[in-house]
Amino acid sequence: MIAARTTNHRRRVAAGLLGLIVLLSILAPLLTGTDPRDATTGAELVSPSWQHLFGTDLLGRDVYSRTLYGGRRTLGVALLTVGVTLLPGLITGLAAGYFGGWIDRALMILMDALLAFPALLLALALVALLGSGAIQIALAVGIAGIPAYARVTRAAVLEARTRMFIEAARAAGAGPAGILWRHVLPTIAPPLLAFAGVMLSWAILNSAALMFLGYGGDLSAPDWGVMLADGRAAFRTAPWVATAPGAALSLTVLAINLLAGSLDSRPGRE
């Protein structure tokens, strides 16, 4: 009972924090009257004040405005990344786990070969092939995340397919597609949704890392990774330039991970 209340409280706090971050990003034009790209001569590295709540950066751009607008780009790229990861990973894991045999072996050999490379290194290699830009980063990081999601899906399917109601459906003549859609997917949905949340936070961090390294294309665009790179040069004298996007990034990842952990809080798991 206490564990259930703790889980519900954690879920509400995480959902509220994440919702607030998303809302602030969406309402950025209403919450700030400053263009995030506008550079003001003579206002470089101004400390936080009522005029500039989070101060200004090396070019005199308002850090508050860039942080709010940056959430749009960072979260948008991360959502696209997860979309690239989830569907191929889900299909691969379902096929490997349900059919087994040579299909399982062939697919898992391919996934293991991709897992042999560190995800960020694989994403860097793909960006080198695809070119720089937000869409290219989303594709590269998304493809790099497919093996992990396929592995988790396969493990969940292997556990689910031995249950009696799935055996009964198979004995009643149900086809593989019907069993997977009506019985297996609803059974494995909680852990897969939880891991999708983990993949979303992973996508945010890795896409921000590639933006930080300068692969985002437009370096003037407001993005948390780009802002961290801008703040690195002046961190000793103007820490606020990197603190605001760093805090936004950390709070977003924390909220997503807390929410993802609460999604799979079944009995015996807390």
| The pLDDT value given to residue 243 | 94
| The pLDDT value given to residue 265 | 53
The alpha carbon torsion through 107, 110, 115, 116 (nearest 10 deg) reads 140
pLDDT per residue as tens digits for the range 79-99 = 999 999 999 999 999 999 999
| The pLDDT value given to residue 2 | 60
What are the extents of the domains in the chain? 2-31+60-263
DSSP-derived secondary structure for 93-139: HHHHHHH-HHHHHHHHHHHHHHHTS-HHHHHHHHHHHH-SSHHHHHH
Fold classified for 2-31+60-263? MetI-like fold (1.10.3720)
How far apart CA 163 and CA 169 sit, in angstroms, is 10
What pTM, to 2 d.p., does this model score? 0.88
Asked if 71 and 28 count as a contact pair (C-beta separation under 8 A), the reply is yes
pLDDT per residue as tens digits for the range 14-53 = 999 999 999 999 999 999 888 899 988 888 999 999 989 9
With a cut of 50, which residues of the chain have pLDDT below it?
266-270
| The pLDDT value given to residue 40 | 83
| The pLDDT value given to residue 102 | 95
| The pLDDT value given to residue 62 | 94
Residue length, the chain? Answer: 270
